[in-house]
Amino acid sequence: MKNLLYVIGLSLFLISCGSSDKKAQLDKLKKQHDALSEQIKTLETEIAKEGGAVVNKIVQVSLTEAKPQEFNHYIEVQGKVDGDENVNVSAKSMGVITYIFVKEGDNVRRGQVLAQIDDQVLQQSLQELKTQLTFATNIYDKQKNLWDQKIGSELQYLTAKNTKESLEGRMSTLIDQIDMSKIKSPINGTVEESPMKVGQLISPGFTAFRVVNFSKIKVVAEVAEAYTAKVRQNNKVKINFPDLNEEIDANIRFTSRYINPINRTFMVEARVNPGKLEFRANMVAVLKINDYSSPTAIVLPVNIIQTSNDEKFVYLVEEKAGKQIAKKQLVKVGQTYNGNVEILEGIKEGNKVITSGFQDLEDGLQIKL
């Protein structure tokens, strides 16, 4: 039994040693392969620099000629459509709705009564006050006539006057309370919402109607605090309405000086003319705010910019000994937008920049257009 265990253990040891030898051999070959590949690349580069081209390695490419053009960078944020006046109309007093005079879609004027709250008790109190005031006025008139004739006491005259004026004040207050039982529109506009029903109890602060004035329209959006220095009043903006499949040009009319502490954003607003488009409150709008422009920039597709050792470069086409040769050119890039990048340094007007096939290129390789 011991002999059997000894044989098994020896076999496993030999197998593991064999496996380790193979791994070590594989690692050694990989290192040799990497070294050879590096030597090959170095020799190819040296041959190309000496005026020749690497044998049997001609890469087919396509190119574009660098030309100055306008470059714009945009900040894209999602916003919403709102009316110039978008008001939640609520009651000024508590009570039960007895009448509703308008419906959704109706045009209303400022001050127009939209609904009536039950004011029966107040009306009864008003009638009582009117009766008391009539009586108090008659007493006052008689006391005044007597006082003007130097008849009677001053106290009687002043008492009658005070009673009359007190009732007039109470009546004025009661009339104001009765007026508060009427829900009125504060603006000219259209009734967009009417959640109240006859017989429903309403209280101040509860929305009875929504009235929107769409004669003037604005688009509002929240912009991240990081863009505070770039987004300013009068910046150009393109406003896209996905639901209408339309895009219009406008300017930023207002930028808030208040940063929301919860989401670290500030509000921007742009005006929109209604025109032929049918806008609706809270409709989605995408704002493309122009925060950078260059009228004569060299612009290239961002996907052709390559990076090596923290350096960015592209390949140009140059003539050498009657052949087309790839030349590695370091570049300094600026803003990037919509798949394009602004080139600040390294590329001049008229340079022929390789736009496809550059993945297989090295500096000095012969190319075919």
Q: pLDDT tens-digit profile of 270-295?
A: 998 877 778 888 899 999 999 999 99
For 254, which DSSP code?
E
Count CA atoms closer than 13 A to 108's CA, side-chain side: 28
127: burial class by Cβ within 10 Å (0-12, 13-18, 19+)? exposed
Q: How confident is the model at residue 49 (pLDDT cuts 50, 70, 90)?
A: low
Q: Are strands 58-60 and 366-368 parallel, antiparallel or unpaired?
A: parallel
Q: At what angle do helices 154-180 and 120-148 cross, to 10 degrees?
A: 160
Q: Where are the beta strands (DSSP E) in 109-198?
A: 113-117, 182-184, 189-193
pLDDT of residue 184: 94
Q: What is the pLDDT of residues 193-212, one digit of tens each?
A: 888 899 999 999 888 999 98
Q: Which residues of 43-61 are buried (b: 16+ CB within 10 A; e: fewer)?
A: ebbeebeeeebbeeeebeb
pLDDT score at 37? 64
Q: Are 237 and 282 contacting, i.e. CB atoms less than 8 angstroms apart?
A: no
Cα 270–chain centre separation? 11
For the chain, how are helix, strand and coil distributed in percent, rounded to 5? 30, 40, 25
Question: Poorest-confidence range of 19-23, 298-302, 365-369?
Answer: 19-23
Structure confidence by residue, pLDDT tens digits, 143-162? 888 888 888 788 888 888 89
What mean pLDDT value characterizes the chain? 84
Q: Which amino acid is at 3?
A: N
In percent, how much of the chain has pLDDT > 90?
43
Query: Is 12's pLDDT higher than 70?
Result: no
- Least confident interval from 8-12, 155-159, 328-332, 348-352: 8-12
DSSP letter for 7, please.
H
Cα 314 to Cα 11: distance, rounded to the nearest angstrom: 58
**What tens digit of pLDDT does each residue of 164-175 get?**
999 999 999 999
Specify the range with the lowest mean pLDDT, choosing from 28-37, 40-49, 82-91, 204-213.
Answer: 40-49
Nearest in space to 248 (alpha carbons), one of 228, 276, 226? 276
